[in-house]
Amino acid sequence: MSAAADPADRVPVGQGGAWRHGWGLARAHPGLFTVTVLGYVGFYSLPLANGLILKAVFDRLSGHAPAGLSVWTLVGLLLGAQLLPQLVLFGANAAWNAFAYAMEAMLRRNILGFLVAAPGPKRLPASVGDLVSRFRDDAQAVVWFVEAWVDLSGLIVFTIGALAIMASINPSVAAVAAVPMVLIVFLTNHLALRIHHYRRINREATARVTGFIGETFGAVQAIQVASAEDRMLRHLEVLNDARRKAAINDQIFNAMLDTVSNNMGRIGLGLVLLISAGALRQGSFSVGDFTLFVAYTGFASVGPQWIGRLLARRRTAAVSIGRMEAVLEGAAPYALTAGGAGVRPIADPAEALETLVVRGLTSTYPGTGRGIENIDFTLRRGGLTVIAGEVGAGKTTLIKALIGLIPIQTGEILWNGALVADPASFMIPPRCAYTAQVPRLFSESLRDNLLMGLGEDDEAVTRAITLAILDEDLAGMDGGLDIMVGSRGVTLSGGQLQRAAAARMFLRGADLLILDDASSALDVRTEQLFWSRLLDGGGRTCLVVSHRPEAYRRADEIILLSHGQVEARGTLESLLETSDTFRQTWRDITHAGEAR
Partner 1 sequence: MTRSPAKPLGFTQLLKTYLAPQAPRVVILAALLFTGVGLQLLGPQILKRFVDSAVPGPAALPMATLWGLAGLYIAAALLTQAAQVATTWFSEQVGWTATNSLRRDLAAHALGLDLTFHNAKTPGELIERVDGDVTALATFFSQFVLQILGSGLLLAGILILITVQDWRVGGVMTVFAAVAAFAISRVTLIGGPRWTAERQARSEMAGFLEERLGGLDDIRANAGGAHVMRRHAAISASLNHAGRRAGRIGMAVNAAINALYAVGLAIALIGGVLLFRRHEVTLGTVYLFVQYTGMMAMPLALIGMQLQQFQSAGAGLGRVRDLQAIASRIVDGPGLDLPRRPPGVTFRDVSFAYDAAAPVLRDVCFDLAPGETLGLLGRTGSGKSTLIRLLFRLYEIGEGAILIDGQDIRRATLAQLRARIGVVTQEVQLFEATVRDNVTLFDPALSDARVLEVLEDIGLGPLLARLPAGLDSDLTAGGLSAGEAQLLAFARVFLRDPALVVLDEASSRLDPATDRLVERAMDKLLSPTPGAPRRTAIIIAHKLATVRRADRILILDHGRVAEWGDRATLASDPASQFAGLLRSGVEGVLQ
Asked if 393 is part of the footprint of partner 1 (rule: CB under 8 A), the reply reads yes
Question: What number of other Cβ atoms are within 10 A of residue 569's Cβ?
Answer: 20
Q: By rule CB under 8 A, what string of x and - marks binding of each residue 291-330 to partner 1?
A: x--x------------------------------------
State in angstroms the smallest separation of the CB of 478 from partner 1.
Answer: 6
Q: Which one of 183-191, 237-245, 330-338, 349-357 is the stretch in contact with partner 1 (CB under 8 A)?
A: 237-245
Integer Cα distance of 137 and 200 in angstroms: 12
The binding track of 417-436 with respect to partner 1, each residue x by CB under 8 A or -, is -------x--xxx--xxx-x
Q: With contacts defined by CB under 8 A, how many residues of the chain interact with partner 1? A: 185
541-545 and 371-380 strand pairing: unpaired
Contact 358, 155 (CB under 8 A): no
Residue window 507-546: x/- pattern of binding to partner 1, with contact defined by CB under 8 A: -x-----x--x--xxxxxxxxx------------------
Q: Which residue in 219, 332, 352, 421 binds partner 1 (CB under 8 A)?
A: 219
Write the DSSP symbol of residue 150: H
Percentages helix, strand, coil for the chain (3-state, rounded to 5) are 65, 10, 25
4 binds partner 1 (CB under 8 A): no
- Beta carbons of 179 and 214 less than 8 angstroms apart: no
Q: How far is the CB of 156 from partner 1 (least distance, A)?
A: 21
Q: Kindly tell me which residue out of 232, 331, 398, 461 binds partner 1, with binding defined by CB under 8 A.
A: 232
**Parallel, antiparallel or unpaired: strands 432-435 and 410-415:** unpaired
Task: Please state, as a whole number, how many other Cβ atoms lie within 10 Å of the Cβ of residue 536.
Answer: 9
Q: In what order do the strands lie in the sheet with 418-419?
A: 371-380, 355-364, 410-415, 418-419
Whole-angstrom distance, CA of residue 221 vs CA of residue 488: 14
- Report helix, strand or coil for 386: strand
Cα–Cα nearest to 134, from 9, 321, 313, 311: 321
Per-residue mark of binding to partner 1, 397-416 (x: CB under 8 A)? ---x--xxx-----------
Instruction: For residue 179, state whether it binds partner 1 (rule: CB under 8 A).
Output: no
Single residue of 12, 16, 73, 105 touching partner 1 by CB under 8 A: 105
Q: How far apart are CB 38 and partner 1 at their closest, in Å? A: 17
Smallest distance, partner 1 to C-beta of residue 321, A: 18
CB 293 within 8 A of CB 181: no
Q: Is the dihedral of CA 548, 549, 554, 557 positive or negative?
A: positive
Which span sits near partner 1 by CB under 8 A: 4-12, 168-176, 337-345, 413-421?
A: 337-345
Does the N-terminal peptide bond of residue 430 adopt cis geometry, omega within 30 degrees of 0? yes
* Selected binder of partner 1 within 169, 189, 218, 334 (CB under 8 A): 218
Q: What are phi and psi of 541, to 5 degrees?
A: -95, 130
Binding flags for partner 1, 474-493, as an x/- string (CB under 8 A): --x-x-------xxx-xx-x
Binding range to partner 1, per CB under 8 A, among 154-162, 247-255, 459-467, 535-543: 247-255
Q: How far is the CB of 153 from partner 1 (least distance, A)?
A: 19
